[in-house]
Amino acid sequence: MTDFDLWRARSPFYNETHEQLAMSVRRFVAQEIEPHIDRWEAEGELPRELHKKAAEAGVLGLRYPEEFGGHSEGFDIFHGMTQTEELSRVGAGGLGASLMTHGIGLPPILATGSEEMKCRIAPPVLAGDKIIALGITEPSGGSDVANLKTRAERKGDRYIVNGSKMFITSGMRADWLTCAVRTGGAGAGGVSLLLIDMNSPGVSRTRLDKMGWHCSDTAAIYFEDVEVPAENLIGVENGGFIGIMRNFNSERLGMAMGCCSFARVCLKEAAEWAQQRETFGKPLVGHQSIRIKLADMARQINATQAWVDLCAWQVEQGADQPADFAMLKVQATRMLESVAREAAQVLGGASFIRGSKVERIYREVRVNAIGGGSEEIMLDLAGRQLFGR
């Protein structure tokens, strides 16, 4: 049961190509990440050169268009989830959040941006030369995207942006920000997406200290009369809300897969500890109560992974719906919270001391339950879609 990836071999959704990718990413993680992750956690950010190395290893460009430097031929959604699994091995959620931040910053450009913008932005991002982040959340409201307040006023060939964004992943290092702004009236119909050069005059940012995700730089970002060229409008003016919502669905599926992966890390560490630790004259796993805990952790992980895989398959078939992603995210984050808690119980005092993966993952439970849409917002969204307002 401590074999980290045994589950893939028994799944109908994964085959030899997924295993080959897993081995490739695993080698990259072992060589370029595992020896340094504790230092990066202490430093509060990832080195920019890691993005270059990840690009060279094929990690950044997985499932992105070949014409922009990506690798899409022969790769499906389950290859992406396999990569998420392997990046989770180090037990640091901030790694995937920050290294793969283009996963939420770049898709809106590829989906609705101009050809000029795609050719200008995507290649350097996928090559690891530039970092792009997503700016949605504001100090005045988290998941209430329709009522965001950051304003962009059109003046000739420019937009003038004023406002602020909060809790922005990779916000301190980002070169570009795919930013939600208000260009029209109140509500969802007045929201647009702008690509903002983060080195523009009037942009300032403040680092935020966090409970977890320490190696992921997180920022509050402020705009004071920031000039943005009109050609940096992503899609049509006042048409950004639908693109934001579509982006959230893939983000929530990715977060759910991450929760399953980190839960498996917790289970692996707890099971190995239980097999090695002796109490009252026998291994910890020799006690019925511990075996029950471990088995129940596996039950929760396997059930959630099955739903993750089903939702991913539905995406491939074009049969997905937002309510599923919303409910799945709640299921996955609650599962991770339960598994991390039980793993900490198995480790006992060792889980309270820095150095175990369980300790780090336990601190990162809350960001999964809140980021990308809180549990309450998710369940209400699903309820409204499934049962009406």
The 3-class secondary structure across 232-294, one letter per residue, is HEECCCCCHHHHHHHHHHHHHHHHHHHHHHHHHHHHHHHHHHHHHCEECCEEHHHCHHHHHHH
**Residue 5: helix, strand or coil by DSSP?**
coil
Q: What is the DSSP string of 321-369?
A: -HHHHHHHHHHHHHHHHHHHHHHHHHHGGGGGSBTBHHHHHHHTHHHHH
Residue that the structure tokens 């993680």 belong to:
29
* DSSP structural state of residue 156: T
Dist. CA 83–CA 18, nearest whole Å: 9
Among this protein's residues, is 138 annotated catalytic? no
Residue that the structure tokens 């020799």 belong to:
286
75-87 core/surface letters (b: 16 or more CB in 10 A; e: else): bbbbbbbbbbbbb
Pick the catalytic residue from 138, 251, 269, 342. 251
Per-residue pLDDT, 243: 83
* DSSP structural state of residue 186: S
pTM to 2 decimal places: 0.93
Dist. CA 371–CA 256, nearest whole Å: 12
Per-residue pLDDT, 1: 47
Question: 223: closest CA among 165, 162, 169?
Answer: 162
Per-residue pLDDT, 351: 92
Per-residue pLDDT, 53: 98
List the chain pLDDT tens, one digit each, 389 residues. Answer: 457 778 899 999 999 999 999 999 999 999 999 999 999 999 999 999 999 999 999 999 999 999 999 999 999 999 999 999 999 999 999 999 999 999 999 999 999 999 999 999 999 999 999 999 999 999 987 667 888 999 999 999 999 999 999 999 999 999 999 999 999 999 989 999 999 999 999 999 999 999 999 999 999 999 999 999 999 999 999 999 988 888 888 999 999 999 999 999 999 999 999 999 878 878 889 999 999 999 999 999 999 999 999 999 999 999 999 999 999 999 999 999 999 999 999 999 999 998 899 999 999 999 999 988 899 999 999 999 999 87
Residue that the structure tokens 């997406």 belong to:
193
Per-residue pLDDT, 2: 56
